[in-house]
Amino acid sequence: MADPRALRDKTCVVGIGETAYTRGTTKNPLQLSMEASLAAVNDAGIKPSQIDGVVLPNGHNGGATAGDYAANFGIDDLYYTASYPEMGGAQIVSAMEGAVMALASGICTYVLVPHCSYFYTGARARDMTANPANALQSAETIRDYYRPFGVGAPPQHYAWMAQRHMALYGTTQEQLGAVAVAMRKHAQLHPNAVMRGKPMTMADYMASKWITWPYKLLDCSLETDGAGAFIMTTAERAKDCRQKPVHVSGIASGHPFPPHDIPNRPDILRIGLDFSAPRAYAMAGVKPSDIDFAEIYDCFTGQTILQIEGAGFCKKGEGGPFCENGNIELGGTLPVNTHGGLLSQAHNTSMNHVIEAVAQLRGGCDERQVKDAELGVVTGWGGHGHGSIAILRS
């Protein structure tokens, strides 16, 4: 069997593009997706028609189909398309993994990965997660076994994990709050953050209303509209692109077991990232202590703590204290979500996390730049705890 370590640094992100993030828009997802994707193509310095692979993280729900890109970009011979709806919010990083394989195998030369989130103007998450037609593997479980008990929205399923983490390890409300406060601080430094100009303190956090104990309003990510996209090619071709290439050193996807039901996992705190992270580090040939910053899928504060542990930055159960005292803020040991994340920049399903990681590794992020950033981690979380991870190198 081929060794996945052979994929280390073989492919690069060479273009990124993003629309404005807003709460409400007059544009439709197709328009937003095209706007972000064309920006990414221009950033890479290639022609739209040079794209020969379109990897759609969420299939048709991501704003446009592969056929839309072929028609709008003038791709008269599209070689490859795929999508990863089963990964839920982990789909962006898993789509990157798909692009790595399509490029390293020689099937494609330039791959576009686009994504639009329409969470403010479109359907609410609670309506999507329990609808089997959305192809989420957990939807029938939610519909038939959780919703009859008034558990139907992601904060509720995920609050179970946060509560158990608190009961087992002594994780505190203030430690959850420290995650939210750090993300909000970082958002003040990003020109395209929905919460820029709206600072928040721990007192604000503690005073925010309960959504589902132990989660407060400010433990929950934003519902926003906006699209993003990135372009990938082989490391060889990347040398001829406009921007400094960012290499994919390690990448992997993982699943909690069993994937479609939280209660019946042997340990509900063993998440997909616990399976995928060791594989990604092995592929990259680095360890967590080598990482300069992390863009973590911060759908909720507790899930951010679980992933900080899963990605190996601290031991299981120590994620709460790890997030205190500015440790995950710019200037701390591990700056997390330097753009403000899903909690305070926008919810673009971690497409914005990939874009921020690439921007950091290129350098030039001004006041939010991580000094001498060479290695960054991006994670995805979705479904009921699927976990994908990319280790990116400048």
Partner 1 sequence: MSTAVKHDDFQLPVMSGYAKESYDLCKAHKLSFQRCAKCKTFRQPPRPLCNKCHSFETEWAPVKGTGKLYAWTIPMNPIGKAWVSYMPYVAAIVELDEGPRMATWVTDVPHDQLKLNMPVKVWYDDLTSEVTVAKFKPA
Neighbours of 364 (CB within 10 A): 8
Q: Nearest to residue 113, comparing CAs of 204, 230, 192? A: 230
Choice between 74 and 263, CB closer to partner 1: 263
User: Which phi and psi angles does 247 have, rounded to 5°?
Assistant: -85, 140
Is position 262 an interface residue for partner 1 (rule: CB under 8 A)? yes
Write down the least CB distance from residue 116 to partner 1, Å: 25
E-strand spans in 29-108? Answer: 53-56, 80-83
Shortest Å, Cβ 151 to partner 1:
5
Q: How far is the CB of 160 from partner 1 (least distance, A)?
A: 4
* CB closer to partner 1, 55 vs 162: 162
Cβ neighbours around 144 below 10 Å, total: 11
Selected binder of partner 1 within 84, 146, 313, 322 (CB under 8 A)? 146
Strand (E) or helix (H) holding 15: strand 11-18
Minimum Å gap between C-beta 34 and partner 1 is 34
For the record, the structure tokens of 243 come out as: 């921007």
The only residue of 211, 244, 270, 279 in contact with partner 1, by rule CB under 8 A: 211
Contact between 45 and partner 1 (CB under 8 A)?
no
Q: Tell me: does residue 126 bind partner 1 (CB under 8 A).
A: yes
**Total binding residues toward partner 1, as defined by CB under 8 A:** 36
Minimum CB–partner distance for residue 215 and partner 1 (Å): 8
Site string for partner 1, 151-170 (x = CB under 8 A): xxx--x--xxxxxx--xx--
* Selected range binding partner 1 among 109-117, 205-213, 313-321, 367-375, rule: CB under 8 A: 205-213
How big is the chain by its Cα radius of gyration, in Å?
19
Give the nearer residue to partner 1 in terms of CB position, either 107 or 123.
123
Minimum distance of partner 1 from residue 180's CB (angstroms): 17
Q: What's the rounded Cα separation, in Å, for the pair 330 and 207?
A: 25
To the nearest whole angstrom, how small is the minimum distance from the Cβ of residue 267 to partner 1?
A: 10
User: Among the candidate windows 142-150, 330-338, 345-353, 362-370, which touches partner 1 by CB under 8 A?
Assistant: 142-150
SS3 288: helix
The end-to-end CA distance of the chain, in Å, is: 29
Q: Taking CB under 8 A as the criterion, which residues in 268-327 touch partner 1?
A: 268
Q: How many CB atoms lie within 10 A of CB 236?
A: 10
Which amino acid makes up residue 305? I
Copy the structure tokens of residue 29: 């997802």
Residue number, 107 or 168, with CB nearest to partner 1? 168
The residue count for the chain: 394
Shortest Cβ 234–partner 1 spacing (Å): 39
Q: Give yes or no for residue 112 binding partner 1 (CB under 8 A).
A: no
Contacts of 70 (CB under 8 A, 6+ apart): 54, 76, 78
- Given 137, 175, 212, 221, the residue binding partner 1 (CB under 8 A): 212
For residues 194 and 346, is the Cβ–Cβ distance under 8 A? yes
Select from 9, 223, 8 the least CA-distant residue to 125.
Answer: 223
117 is a site residue for partner 1 (CB under 8 A): no
User: How far from 121 is each of 28, 32, 154, CA to CA, in Å?
Assistant: 9, 13, 18
| The pair of three-digit structure tokens given for residue 370, joined into one six-digit string | 């991580």
Residue (228 or 254) nearer to partner 1, CB? 254
Can you give the binding site for partner 1, defined by CB under 8 A?
A: 126, 141, 143-153, 156, 159-164, 167-168, 209-215, 258, 260-264, 268
